[in-house]
């Protein structure tokens, strides 16, 4: 790649040569005027040329003094930019911070950009939002590791029992029970419990028989236990199994009693503060138990592994869900003008609150950057970018000096009626 400074350097050298050449021309005209026969026109030429030399030299000195010492001489107030680089950086930083990076200008730029519309167009297109979804999914493992930090886990362990066991816990349980009953899911729970009870009874049949026989013997004596213990045990188990078999889906007394009990518990949770408080204490105690904490930790570990594995899969549900959420957000912003206005207002407000601190930091940043620049390099950079225009100052000074010198000679010649002292 060509160095962009090369073109600036060539342009500066060309214009500097033009300005110097014009100064040399003025000096040559001055010498020529003294070689010519003395007359009005010769005197006019000499006065104009000398003024052009003086103007050209003065402007050469002024332009050169900005960047270096003229002829290397230690003249005061020269080499301004190299000697005042730090002050220039501070002044530039304050100017940019206080006159460019202002709250009004920032609001004007953000309003002109319409960030909400840009974001809506980006998110609504699946082709552009999918890379963003993949990037967010890739951040999921880091987020989970952050949540698993020791302090986060300890904080979660302290907050979860309080939140889950708070006053609203009973209302949440009541709403969940109502939702189960409205969908008929309580019957499925009842069927599951009933099936498990049957399995337990079948597995513990002999143990229950022996326990009933011991109980009969303890209550009626050894003779009663020997005579009727086995009969009573078999009878009790038979009746129990028969009653359980009768409980089928439908209007059984046990199912109706179960429903009535649930409804009564829901009413108590919603209407009795003491019952709600007791439910909260029970939940808090259960969540604080080490066994429950270990169980929840195992669930979390399994869930984390599943989420991390799915987030790494390009065709996984995590990326699909995040992508769909981004597309829905973009579509919503594209269709809702009020939402876009609120988002733009929020962005403007957020940036506006940062302006005061950002201004001071920006001024310090610019001053620090300029201070860290190499003096010779920054001087050259500035001269390359403004030096061409400054050479026009030299050219104009030479030409204007020439014209002003001639005009001044004519004025004095007219006022002195032809008597002009050189």
List pLDDT tens digits, range 252-284: 666 666 667 677 777 776 777 777 677 677 766
Listed in sequence order, the residues at least 6 apart from 240 whose beta carbon sits closer than 8 Å to its beta carbon are 201
Name the pLDDT band for 224 (thresholds 50, 70, 90).
low
Comparison of pLDDT for 291 and 37, the residue scoring more: 37
**What is the average pLDDT value for the chain, to the nearest integer?**
76
List pLDDT tens digits, range 80-117: 878 877 888 888 888 888 877 777 887 787 778 778 88
Does the pLDDT of residue 397 top 80, yes or no?
yes
If DSSP codes are grouped into helix, strand and coil, which group holds residue 37? Answer: coil
Does the pLDDT of residue 189 top 80, yes or no?
no
Instruction: Answer positive or negative: Cα dihedral of 38, 44, 47, 48.
Output: negative
Listed in sequence order, the residues at least 6 apart from 80 whose beta carbon sits closer than 8 Å to its beta carbon are 65, 66, 67
pLDDT mean over 4-25: 89
Contact call for residues 382 and 81 (beta carbons, < 8 A) = yes
Q: Concatenated DSSP letters for 212-253?
A: HHHHHHHHHHHHHHHHHHHHHHHHHHHHHHHHHHH--SSS-H
Name the pLDDT band for 29 (thresholds 50, 70, 90).
very high
pLDDT of residue 240: 63
pLDDT of residue 308: 77
Does the pLDDT of residue 422 top 90, yes or no?
no
In this structure, what are the phi and psi dihedrals at residue 103, rounded to the nearest 5 degrees?
A: -65, -45
Residue with tokens 């270096």: 68
How many residues does this entry show for the chain? 422
Q: Which of 275, 277, 294 is nearest to 165 (CA)?
A: 277
Does the pLDDT of residue 390 top 70, yes or no?
yes
**pTM more than 0.85:** no
Comparison of pLDDT for 78 and 45, the residue scoring more: 45
Q: What is the DSSP letter of 75?
A: -
Token pair of 158, please?
């302290």
Alpha helices, DSSP H only, in 272-336? 273-288, 290-311, 317-335
Alpha helices, DSSP H only, in 36-149? 40-67, 80-83, 85-95, 103-113, 115-124, 126-138, 140-147
Does the pLDDT of residue 45 top 80, yes or no?
yes
Does the pLDDT of residue 192 top 70, yes or no?
no
């Amino acid at each position: 790649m060509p160095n962009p400074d090369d073109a600036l350097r060539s342009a500066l050298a060309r214009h500097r040569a033009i300005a110097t050449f014009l100064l040399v021309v003025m000096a040559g005209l001055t010498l020529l005027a003294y070689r010519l026969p003395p007359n009005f026109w010769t005197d006019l030429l000499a006065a104009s040329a000398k003024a052009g030399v003086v103007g050209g030299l003065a402007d050469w000195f002024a332009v050169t003094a900005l960047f270096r010492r003229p002829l290397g001489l230690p003249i005061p107030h020269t080499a301004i930019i190299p000697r005042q680089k730090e002050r220039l950086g501070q002044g530039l930083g304050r100017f940019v911070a206080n006159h460019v990076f202002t709250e009004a200008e920032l609001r004007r730029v953000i309003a002109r950009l319409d960030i909400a519309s840009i974001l809506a167009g980006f998110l609504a297109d699946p082709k552009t939002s999918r890379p963003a979804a993949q990037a967010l999914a890739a951040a999921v493992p880091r987020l989970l590791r952050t949540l698993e930090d020791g302090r986060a886990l300890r904080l979660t362990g302290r907050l979860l029992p309080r939140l889950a066991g708070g006053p609203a816990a009973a209302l949440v349980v009541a709403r969940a029970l109502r939702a189960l009953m409205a969908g008929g899911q309580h019957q499925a729970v009842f069927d599951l419990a009933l099936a498990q009870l049957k399995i337990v009874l079948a597995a513990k049949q002999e143990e229950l028989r022996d326990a009933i026989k011991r109980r009969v013997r303890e209550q009626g004596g050894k003779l009663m236990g020997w005579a009727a213990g086995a009969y009573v045990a078999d009878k009790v188990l038979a009746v129990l199994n028969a009653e359980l078999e009768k409980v089928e889906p439908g209007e059984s007394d046990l199912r109706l009693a179960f429903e009535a009990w649930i409804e009564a518990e829901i009413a108590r949770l919603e209407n009795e503060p003491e019952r709600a408080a007791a439910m909260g204490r029970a939940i808090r105690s259960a969540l604080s138990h080490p066994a429950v904490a270990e169980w929840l930790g195992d669930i979390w570990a399994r869930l984390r592994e599943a989420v991390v594995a799915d987030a790494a899969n390009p065709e996984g549900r995590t990326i699909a869900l995040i992508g769909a959420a981004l597309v829905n957000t973009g579509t919503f912003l594209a269709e809702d003008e009020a939402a876009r206005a609120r988002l733009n207002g929020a962005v403007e407000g957020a940036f506006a609150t940062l302006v005061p601190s950002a201004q001071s930091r920006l001024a310090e940043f610019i001053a620090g950057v300029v201070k860290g620049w190499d003096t010779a390099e920054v001087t050259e950079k500035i001269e390359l970018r403004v030096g061409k225009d400054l050479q026009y100052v030299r050219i104009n000074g030479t030409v204007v000096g020439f014209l002003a010198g001639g005009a001044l000679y004519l004025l004095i010649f007219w006022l002195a009626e032809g008597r002009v002292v050189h």
